[in-house]
Structure 1
């Protein structure tokens, strides 16, 4: 993305909650903000704010946002206008949203693939969980993606950024053994030849 396309003025978590609480879809805060909600503290600056919804709900979201917001499909470095009532194929899973007549991006919506009542990890569809088991809720009622799932998205990316490693180090001491093991096992499934995070995850295992 270039020029003005990458200028962000992200909404706050409270603003997101106000928007999404009246839309009849399941939703969760994702990305670095989800990890900070889990830790109940801000650990670093956040350039944007990510929300995840279930893929079957994307047209419901569009109908509710369409009056005040413009939505674009982010795909392979391009931003493509999301046309009204356009069903998104499985290779489209990233929506950028901005207020109409404004130039800065306000939030990003990622679409989660599902099968019946399961969430499916797009990079390896053998990794899955019941949809009811992918999120938590903050004390103030804000839904957010479970940290081990968010770390899988970070660690399973083709490019691991410095902030992803920082996030891993902040979260690992707070994860219980079963969630840590799930993250390790999932990375091992995606990367049977090994992954750079495995040794670090193992270092937190209880002796």
Structure 2
């Protein structure tokens, strides 16, 4: 990482603006992160420091085609950014792509890459956790596709920050029996015992 890269300089776009940028992308994508929880709740309830867009790894080069001229940086674990070379197939360990229009611009949003096999979404937390691809998303009232809240909570459960706890508390009462059962089983599979399990119930 070079000294010029400021990881904290964010001015996130609204999801609607990201949708306009991705209008030419034929591959599926979903609003993820805190906005996915907000859409499930149905109203804003906290500030958002960034915008996450989930895309399948198999389609990740669509991101470059959708944003010609933008600066796209791959997040190499355990925490360094590097320019994503045009046409480069990103390695399996890269899950995040940071996006900004110019070198002097703040970061605007990031792509999160998730796995799939054929018609199935495969969680990168544990490949035993799977769902049909056509079942992982919902559509908000304004037409924006977003990740189902129980799937987003599975990712947030790995190391919950205060905002993740807030998201969990806000959306949990809205999950039906099937969603709670799926979340409980997925968290158990991926992480074993977890403090959220007792609050999910069942």
TM range (shorter): over 0.9
Selected match of 1:147 from 146, 149, 153: 149
Query: Does residue 78 of structure 1 match 2:77?
Result: no
Q: Which residue of 2 aligns with 1:195?
A: 194
Q: Which residue of 1 aligns with 2:168?
A: 168
Q: How far did 1:23 drift?
A: 1.5
Check conservation: 2:31, 2:54, Cα contact below 8 A. Answer: yes
Within 5 Å, give how 1:57-206 maps onto structure 2: 57-65=59-67, 67-75=68-76, 76-155=78-157, 157=158, 159-192=159-192, 194-202=193-201
Aligned residue pair count: 199
| 3-state SS of 1:10 partner | coil
Q: What is the rounded CA distance, in whole Å, between the counterparts of 1:8 and 1:74 in structure 2?
A: 16
**Aligned equivalents of 1:182, 1:102: Cα separation in 2:** 43
Identify unmatched segments of 5+ residues in structure 2: none
Unaligned runs of 5+ in 1: none
Which residues in structure 2 correspond to 1:16-55 (within 5 Å)? 16-55=18-57
Distance 1:101 1:7 in 2: 12
Contact 2:22 2:66 in 1 (8 A): no
State the TM-score, normalized to the length of structure 1: 0.92
User: Residue deviations 1:71-91, cap 9 Å, x none?
Assistant: 001122111110010001111
**Mapped partners of 1:105, 1:184: distance in 2:** 34
Maintained 8 Å contact 2:32/2:54: yes
Scaled by the length of structure 2, the TM-score of the pair is 0.94
1:198 to partner: Cα distance: 0.5
